[in-house]
């Protein structure tokens, strides 16, 4: 079961404004990535469900976070059905993210008061997601839609909270465009947790990259 309440998760998302996301099939590597993000200042991370036995890695990673990294909130992304969402919630997932809007996932998340952030690509989908109880929606791939999508949606619906993922980079220009358009948070995968850093096991560099990204977000959102 989730260790953090829905309100705690949503507050952390809106305060941190950065959702690091990654997947690795080795638990030892995943632990080092998670610790590097934590020591860089992140208190939120999405583990993506992208490989065989990913749920086993996540289960152990979540136990590690609970024991070693106080306040670290772990959730899961790339979820495609309610059964998988329920499986991860049983392993302690504190939030669920999907690339597309799925009503079945929204229902199982609502039953357990676990935040669900579905991918939406139109005002109709955003409205449906909010009707299903989603406080934050994901914009994916962000590189296709761009910041103007967020700006246009929030013009008639200023209450809508959108998190772009894909096409987000840890640069002042890029972050300013997303947050200037009204993004509540940004998801960052390989632009932040690169394959090169993981391959070289340069976790100190990853820690610094996370720290720099968080500081840059603070600057661009003032």
Q: What does the pLDDT profile of the chain (222 residues) look like in tens digits?
A: 899 999 999 999 999 999 999 999 999 999 999 999 999 999 999 999 999 999 999 999 999 999 999 999 999 999 999 999 999 999 999 999 999 999 999 999 999 999 999 999 999 999 999 999 999 999 999 999 999 999 999 999 999 999 999 999 999 999 999 999 999 999 999 999 999 999 999 999 999 999 999 999 999 998
What's the CA gap between 68 and 115, in Å, rounded? 24
**What's residue 30's pLDDT?**
98
**What's residue 129's pLDDT?**
98
* Residues, the chain: 222
Q: Are 139 and 121 in contact (CB under 8 A)?
A: yes
In this structure, is residue 17 part of a structural domain? yes
- Which range of residues forms the domain containing residue 161? 6-212
In this structure, is residue 219 part of a structural domain? no
**What's residue 189's pLDDT?**
96
What's the CA gap between 93 and 31, in Å, rounded? 16
What's the CA gap between 221 and 1, in Å, rounded? 33
In this structure, is residue 222 part of a structural domain? no
**What's residue 9's pLDDT?**
98
Report the CATH number that the domain containing residue 174 is assigned in CATH. 3.20.20.70
In this structure, is residue 160 part of a structural domain? yes
Our CA angle for 62, 88, 60, nearest 5°, is: 30
**What's residue 222's pLDDT?**
81
**What's residue 155's pLDDT?**
95
- What is the pTM (predicted TM-score) of this model? 0.97
What is the tally of structural domains in the chain? 1
In this structure, is residue 55 part of a structural domain? yes
In this structure, is residue 220 part of a structural domain? no
In this structure, is residue 27 part of a structural domain? yes
In this structure, is residue 221 part of a structural domain? no
Q: Are 23 and 112 in contact (CB under 8 A)?
A: no
**What's residue 93's pLDDT?**
98
**What's residue 55's pLDDT?**
97
């Amino acid at each position: 079961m989730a260790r953090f309440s829905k309100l705690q998760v949503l507050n952390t998302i809106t305060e941190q404004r950065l959702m690091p996301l990654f997947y690795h099939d080795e638990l030892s590597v995943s632990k080092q990535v998670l610790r590097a993000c934590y020591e860089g200042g992140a208190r939120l991370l999405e583990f993506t469900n992208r490989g065989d036995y990913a749920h086993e890695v996540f289960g152990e990673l979540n136990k590690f976070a609970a024991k070693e990294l106080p306040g670290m909130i772990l959730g899961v992304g790339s979820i495609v059905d309610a059964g998988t969402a329920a499986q991860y919630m049983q392993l302690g997932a504190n939030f669920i993210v999907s690339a597309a809007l799925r009503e079945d996932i929204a229902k199982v998340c609502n039953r357990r008061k676990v935040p669900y952030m579905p991918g939406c690509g139109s005002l109709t989908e955003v409205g449906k997601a909010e009707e299903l109880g989603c406080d934050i929606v994901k914009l994916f791939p962000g590189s296709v839609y761009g910041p103007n999508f967020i700006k246009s949606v929030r013009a008639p619906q200023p209450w809508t909270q959108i998190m772009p993922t894909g096409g987000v980079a840890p640069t002042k220009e890029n972050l300013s465009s997303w947050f200037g358009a009204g993004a509540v948070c940004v998801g960052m995968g390989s632009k932040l947790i690169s394959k090169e850093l993981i391959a070289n096991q340069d976790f100190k560099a990853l820690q610094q990259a996370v720290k720099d990204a968080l500081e840059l977000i603070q600057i661009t959102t003032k």
